[in-house]
């Protein structure tokens, strides 16, 4: 009996080890559309048939790995301990704080880490933004209840990411004209308000965080609707982590414009 148990434990551990390797490959499979090249209908079908992963698992892996894409310290922990071990810190960490969070993710059990993150959010983060929305009375009642949940922010984020999944595909082209479907998507996301955190002024400019002149691509997840002031700040190279998106934006103390930005500045200087 002891032997059978031993074998079971061993095989179980090995199975998880190999599954982790599959999980870590998913972003590449998504990015290079390997599922399509291998004639599967979707990445879900690919991962389901080839590795027995369900849709939620695939979404979760992609979401977490996307959040830690520019945080090599956390990626390393994910490789060693699995995606679950970094999940609690994937959103709260930034490239600057990744090392701090990697150390926590590496050494703390998951439930302790979750609590730590929860308290950290409440106590140590400088501030939380309050939002007010107008909802129908019934929906407002449900929302009041929903926001009491411990995993409220995580669920809300998951929901918003899934809405994002409907976004149109990126278009590679020489034309600066943003395709209508992409513009519509960005407008829907921004509500025509500047997407710089806490700005909210009327948005006037569609800004490519991956500069169009260099990348020749209209990618809806790299186009943000900004007010004039924030668009200028971006081109002055004063926004840190610009390519990671607004959640990670913060002002730089020292400007670091790209080559394209220098050209834009020169052009504007001439044109007024
Ligand atoms: Zn703004």
CA of 266 to the centre of ligand 1 (A): 22
How close is the Cα of 99 to the center of ligand 1, in Å? 30
How far apart are the CA of 228 and the centre of ligand 1, in A?
A: 7
Q: How far is the CA of 226 from the centre of ligand 1 (A)?
A: 5
- Between the CA of 241 and the centroid of ligand 1 the distance, in Å, is 16
Cα separation, 202 vs 192, whole angstroms: 6
Per-residue pLDDT, averaged over 26-36, amounts to 93
- pLDDT cut 70: percent of the chain above it: 96
CA angle 233, 182, 205 (to 5 degrees): 25
For residue 199, how far is its CA from the centre of ligand 1 (angstroms)? 5
| Banded pLDDT at 271 (limits 50, 70, 90) | very low
pLDDT at residue 272, rounded to an integer? 37
- Residue 128: the pLDDT is 67
Q: Give the tokens for residue 9.
A: 């434990």
The residue extents of the domains of the chain are 2-103+117-124, 171-271
| Cα 97 to middle of ligand 1, angstroms | 25
The CA 109 to ligand 1 mean position distance, Å, reads: 40
Residue 75 to residue 243: CA distance in whole angstroms: 18
236 CA → ligand 1 middle, Å: 14
CA 239 – ligand 1 centroid, Å: 12
pLDDT (average), residues 261-269: 73
> How far, in Å, from the CA of 188 to the mean position of ligand 1?
17
This model's pTM is above 0.85: no
CA 197 to ligand 1 centroid distance, Å: 8
pLDDT tens readout for residues 42-67: 999 999 999 999 999 999 999 999 99
* pLDDT confidence of residue 124: 65
85 touches 66 (CB < 8 A): no
User: What average pLDDT does the structure give for the chain?
Assistant: 87
pLDDT band at 125 (very low <50, low <70, confident <90, very high): low
Distance 251 CA to ligand 1 centre (A): 12
């Amino acid at each position: 009996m002891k032997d059978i148990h031993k074998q079971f434990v061993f095989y179980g551990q090995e199975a998880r080890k190999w599954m982790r390797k599959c999980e870590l490959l998913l972003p590449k499979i998504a990015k290079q559309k390997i599922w399509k090249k291998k004639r599967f209908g979707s990445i879900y079908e690919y991962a389901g048939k080839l590795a027995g992963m369900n849709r939620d698992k695939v979404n979760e892996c992609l979401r977490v790995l996307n959040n830690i894409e520019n945080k090599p310290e956390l990626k390393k922990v994910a490789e060693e301990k699995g995606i679950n071990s970094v999940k609690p810190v994937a959103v709260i960490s930034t490239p600057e704080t990744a090392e701090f969070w990697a150390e926590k993710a590496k050494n703390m059990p998951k439930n302790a880490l979750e609590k730590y993150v929860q308290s950290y959010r409440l106590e140590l983060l400088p501030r939380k933004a309050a939002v007010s929305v107008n909802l129908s009375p019934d929906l407002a009642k449900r929302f009041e209840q929903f926001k009491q949940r411990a995993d409220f922010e995580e669920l809300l984020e998951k929901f918003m990411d899934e809405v994002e999944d409907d976004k149109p595909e990126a278009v590679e082209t020489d034309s600066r004209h943003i395709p209508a479907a992409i513009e519509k998507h960005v407008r829907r996301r921004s509500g025509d308000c500047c997407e710089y955190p806490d700005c909210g002024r009327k948005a006037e400019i569609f800004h490519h965080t991956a500069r169009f002149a260099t990348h020749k691509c209209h990618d809806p997840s790299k186009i943000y609707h900004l007010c004039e002031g924030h668009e200028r700040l971006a081109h002055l190279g004063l926004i840190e982590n610009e390519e990671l998106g607004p959640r990670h934006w913060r002002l730089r103390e020292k400007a670091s414009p790209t080559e394209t930005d220098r050209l834009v500045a020169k052009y504007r200087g001439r044109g007024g």
